Structure 1
Amino acid sequence: MSATTTDLPLAGIRVADFSRVLAGPYATMMLADFGADVIKIESPDGDDTRSWRPPVDAAGDSTYFAAVNRNKRSIVCDLRMEAGLATAHRLAAGADIVVENFRPGVMERFGLDEATLRADAPGLVYCSITGFGRGDGAALAGYDLLVQAVGGLMSITGAPDSGPTKVGVALVDVLTGLNAFSGMLLALRERDRTGLGQRIDVDLLTSLLAALTNQASSTLATGIAPARMGNAHPSIAPYELVDASDRPFVVAVGNDRQFRDFVGLLGRPELADDPRFARNADRVRHRQALRDELMSTLAGNTAAHWVDRCATARVPAGLVNDLTEAFAFAASLGLDPVARIDQADATGTGTTRSGAQPANPIHLSSAPADYRSVAPRLGEHDGADWHPQPHPQKEGRP
């Protein structure tokens, strides 16, 4: 942890966070980890994910909510009531960044939209996260599963003989949150240059389409949509799940040198000279024949044996870990994958609130992410000294 919050890159940046569920809270948590003062503005019912349980942590709180809301303060504002709306306006007026993921038109109805706020704060950075943009898709609800379906991700996920399959985590929300985080940093850098803030629009659908990278590029270049291939890769072989005598493991051969080394360690060096397999393009064309050859050999020993042999030969391979094993593996490599937080309870009872979360994956050499507090209880900071003064940079520059 940093010696003080002021040592962190985003110290002094204030965020009025009106976002809920995952994409927005993930983005604002990333800001908070690097020192931004994030005030989570919640309805009297709280963020939906507070009630998404089980599982729960040791304190009985939703682990889903805890995953994306550390290092924040929670204030309840009922926007339907005059007092709550006034509080929300004061928070937005004192912020460097406003983040929201309501359906288009909601923030305008409450006078919390970008145009209204920017009239008094030209340096404001305003980030809107939607499912399908602010145009013809504005009325569509932006749920991750829905976007995985209509955005094509499910069509390429799963085995050829299975139905379309969703990814095992709300990946589109996470990707969109990362795009929002990047956009806000870019906007702050531009404000440093010009003194002026700007609007950031990020949506789930185009975040997914951009993240489909090679699959999207292939579709646009050929006009042919890729099909589900299970654990195989459309352009590389062998790059897939294979079976050893006891359990499956992954081999990820990325070039011809690795393939030659791989079949050498298997005791099958002749496969590298077989014209069907000599080059990657050949292996892709004859992937089933290659798989048959490999599986007959791999069945002769355990997955751990083959993974160890591959590591020695510098051939990418690994066991299929569950999440407990995955965290242990990362820790064994010295990656410090877990952030552990011990925080004195604000009730003054002397108790400690603790939490363990995946660590921030961005590692800065002199100002690493800081883990100051677990996810706040609903309204935990109501009445606290949160009233910020207008930021000097909001006055703009000529």
Structure 2
Amino acid sequence: MIQPLHDIRVLDLSRVYAAPAGAMILGDLGADVIRIEPPGGSDSMRDWGPFLNGESTYYLSANRNKRSITIDLKSEEGKLLFFDLVEKSDIVIENFKAGTMKKLGINYEVLKEKKPGIIVCSVTGFGQTGPLSELPGFDPVIQAMSGLMDVTGNPQDVATKVGIPIADIITSVYVALSVVTAIRQRDMSGEGQYIDLSLLDVQVASMANVASAYLNTGMISERKGNQHNNVAPYQVFQTGDFAIMICAGNDGLFKKFAAALGHPEWGNDSRFITNNDRKKHENELVILIEEVLKTKNSDQWVDILSDAKVPVGRVNNIQQALDQEQVIARGGIENLLHEVGEVKLLASPLKHSGLNVRTRMAPPTLGQHNEEVLQELLQLKKKEVSILKENNVL
């Protein structure tokens, strides 16, 4: 089956997570993604452990379905090589500090002169405009500035970041979406364009109901730990052994939940009939629920509540999460042959009836495809590639 981006080529100049993971999604959809770094490498993710036979598992998580070449873009010869590759490509993705592409002489205005249909996607912490545009942006800083940390964690504790680089991860999806949208527009107009993506823009836009509550009512949401600002019961509860998450998100679900716990009378209790009632009497309700839940273990309650169609799940660590039958049945993990041996990676979650999403290549080692790419796309001879290496262009 032909993949939707099989005829699209991406030059990925990016590092760390947000932009590289966005390019990876395009590779999952069939694009030929060529990762370009300087000869000595530039991605600090390669230095972040833990390691599998010397290869960073962090780096592996954002770079499947790519080829890797090295080019010194500060050298004139390297720049000319890059321009030749641009003419045979559709997309350039970069996440240098604002202004760096212009200093290198490879910014969008220069590239579109060489190929009018080129699409350039720039990913930065704060965007190309505004008073903070020249500052570096790291995921935890973005989480802090966006308001996300202020609504995460227990109310009595300091604000808490999310345990994964969530601003980077959400931005990576917007990278892929923006690029696919730009390709569609180019199909209609024949023109390329410049995409300016900011981690802060993305994370602020992702504040969803918290932002809407403030903008429309002035309500500033508070940290509630594992409870919810607006809904009850909607939190983590301790059972006889492990904790479980329960989301009785509406009045009908609450009645099912109460009945499953053996207390159908709660559904008609004036303190608990509506969600507003339950929020007003949340502390009382939580005490009643906790007393019942501690009488059985987590597996028993998950079975009972699942049978009652009440949303519930055990609070798993990563081992337990990846060992779940549901994750295995859906093909959530894949084994790939890598230069350092077999590696296990998370698979793309995209599953369409007419979409062939698959991992064709394991994440590449630095410069692994220098000869392959330059011979294939620029018709350079093996000796010419060797000379470029000797001159430290590659």
Give the TM-score normalised by the residue count of structure 1.
0.91
Larger mean Cα displacement after TM superposition, 62-71 or 380-389: 380-389
Counterpart residue number, 2:367: 379
| 8 Å contact kept, 1:338–1:359 | yes
| Residue 61 of structure 2, aligned match among 54, 60, 67 | 67
Counterpart residue number, 2:355: 367
- State the one-letter code of the partner of 1:277: F
Change (3 A) 1:312 1:81: same
Structure 1: how far apart are the matches of 2:341 and 2:79?
31
Q: Secondary structure at the match of 1:119?
A: helix
Structure 2: how far apart are the matches of 1:371 and 1:186?
23
Mapped pair 1:230 → 2:218:
no
| Residue 171 of structure 1, aligned match among 143, 166, 169 | 166
| 8 Å contact kept, 1:18–1:41 | yes
Structure 1: how far apart are the matches of 2:256 and 2:157?
33
Structure 2: how far apart are the matches of 1:285 and 1:45?
60
| Residue 194 of structure 1, aligned match among 182, 189, 195 | 189
Larger mean Cα displacement after TM superposition, 161-170 or 376-385: 376-385
Structure 1: how far apart are the matches of 2:147 and 2:16?
22
- State the one-letter code of the partner of 1:72: K
Q: Secondary structure at the match of 1:383?
A: helix
Structure 2: how far apart are the matches of 1:72 and 1:316?
38
Structure 2: how far apart are the matches of 1:361 and 1:118?
34
| Residue 137 of structure 1, aligned match among 132, 137, 150 | 132
Structure 2: how far apart are the matches of 1:224 and 1:256?
23
Cα deviation, residue 109, structure 1: 1.3
| 8 Å contact kept, 1:27–1:177 | yes
Change (3 A) 1:271 1:330: same
Cα deviation, residue 332, structure 1: 5.6
| 8 Å contact kept, 1:330–1:337 | no
Cα deviation, residue 47, structure 1: 3.8
| Residue 102 of structure 1, aligned match among 91, 96, 119 | 96
Counterpart residue number, 1:356: 344
Structure 2: how far apart are the matches of 1:81 and 1:190?
34
| 8 Å contact kept, 1:354–1:374 | no
Structure 2 counterparts to residues 1-398 of structure 1, below 5 A: 7-57=2-52, 59-135=53-129, 136-329=131-324, 331=326, 334-342=329-337, 353-386=341-374, 388=377
Determine what percentage of the aligned residue pairs are the same residue.
37
Q: Secondary structure at the match of 2:179?
A: helix
Report how many aligned residue pairs link the two structures.
376
| 8 Å contact kept, 2:90–2:117 | yes
Counterpart residue number, 2:385: none
Q: Secondary structure at the match of 1:296?
A: helix
Cα deviation, residue 333, structure 1: 6.6
Cα deviation, residue 105, structure 1: 0.9
Structure 2: how far apart are the matches of 1:203 and 1:337?
29
- State the one-letter code of the partner of 2:346: P
- State the one-letter code of the partner of 1:315: V
Q: Secondary structure at the match of 1:149?
A: helix
Structure 2: how far apart are the matches of 1:385 and 1:336?
31
Structure 1: how far apart are the matches of 2:257 and 2:31?
48
Per-residue CA deviations over 1:281-314 (Å, capped at 9, x if unaligned) read 1111221111011111111111111111001110
Counterpart residue number, 1:395: none
| 8 Å contact kept, 2:69–2:373 | no
Counterpart residue number, 1:392: none
Structure 2: how far apart are the matches of 1:298 and 1:385?
60
| 8 Å contact kept, 1:50–1:61 | no
| 8 Å contact kept, 2:33–2:65 | yes
- State the one-letter code of the partner of 1:362: L
Q: Secondary structure at the match of 2:126?
A: coil
| 8 Å contact kept, 1:330–1:336 | no
Residue ranges of structure 1 left out of the alignment (5+ in a row): 346-351, 390-398
Structure 2: how far apart are the matches of 1:160 and 1:45?
46
| 8 Å contact kept, 1:353–1:374 | no
Counterpart residue number, 1:394: none
Structure 1: how far apart are the matches of 2:41 and 2:164?
23
Cα deviation, residue 76, structure 1: 0.9
| 8 Å contact kept, 1:16–1:97 | yes
Cα deviation, residue 24, structure 1: 0.5
Structure 2: how far apart are the matches of 1:23 and 1:196?
26
Structure 1: how far apart are the matches of 2:181 and 2:46?
34
Q: Secondary structure at the match of 1:384?
A: helix
Larger mean Cα displacement after TM superposition, 75-84 or 92-101: 75-84
Cα deviation, residue 380, structure 1: 0.9
Per-residue CA deviations over 1:22-42 (Å, capped at 9, x if unaligned) read 011000000011110111010
| 8 Å contact kept, 1:341–1:354 | yes
| 8 Å contact kept, 1:265–1:313 | yes
- State the one-letter code of the partner of 2:79: L
Change (3 A) 1:104 1:53: closer
Per-residue CA deviations over 1:257-303 (Å, capped at 9, x if unaligned) read 11111111111111111111101111112211110111111111111
| 8 Å contact kept, 2:91–2:120 | yes
